[in-house]
Amino acid sequence: MNENIGQDTKESNPDFKLVDAKDFPWLDLNYYDRIAAEFQLKGFALIGDIEFVCFSEILPRGFHRTLSSRDGIIVAEIFHEKVRGFDLVLRLLFGRLFLSCKGIHLTTEFSDGNFVYTVTGKNRKNSDLLPAGIIKQVVAPTTSIRDMIEIHKSRIKEHIQQNPDNNALTLRTFQQWTESLNRVKSSSKQIQT
């Protein structure tokens, strides 16, 4: 599914790398294909199938399918993390929390360094452990792709109305996406120190 990736995919990043979904035989590819197809019907294009190498140190090979909206301002990440192999040890240490996690993240980065996230998940406080400038909204896992995109777009509009000199950044390639993630990581470190 990586045939549409931009030319910048040869760039290396120690935390993320482009992969072929076929190298992940335990994946529920029907899940990824079904959700990606829904986004593609809404004008999203594939950035790539990406391994989160940083997660792979604690979970066996974290895999995300990542797409970008037609205008490039919304990035969708589809994931289904499943603990394999050493799941018994993790179950003993952490309980059922780490056994399986399925969801979707929508992200928009702004020129002022702020980020808007819309994520599927359990209803928790939206600001739990988030650095300043990261605005997160949790929606029910049953929320349709269409509704999730509309919720996210309304949050983008609110942020721009409150910050009129601000604009959403365009992220269409693997390189742009990894640079954005590195900016999130950098801002998180600055808050912690």
Total number of domains in the chain? 1
Q: Which of 77, 45, 46, 47 is nearest to 64 (CA)?
A: 77
What mean pLDDT comes out for the span 54-74?
79
Tell me whether residue 34 is in a domain.
yes
Tell me whether residue 12 is in a domain.
yes
Tell me whether residue 190 is in a domain.
no
Quick one: pLDDT at residue 76?
97
> What domain range is 50 assigned to?
2-185
Tell me whether residue 191 is in a domain.
no
Quick one: pLDDT at residue 16?
83
Tell me whether residue 193 is in a domain.
no
Tell me whether residue 28 is in a domain.
yes
Quick one: pLDDT at residue 136?
86
Tell me whether residue 22 is in a domain.
yes
Tell me whether residue 192 is in a domain.
no
The separation between the first and the last C-alpha atoms of the chain, rounded to the nearest angstrom, is 40
Write the pLDDT tens digit of every residue in 74-118: 999 998 776 555 554 555 565 544 456 788 999 999 998 899 999
What mean pLDDT comes out for the span 173-182?
90
Sign of the Cα torsion 176, 127, 156, 168 reads: negative
The conformational region for residue 143 under phi > 0 = left, psi -120 to 50 = alpha, else beta, is: beta
Quick one: pLDDT at residue 187?
66
Quick one: pLDDT at residue 126?
46
Quick one: pLDDT at residue 63?
84
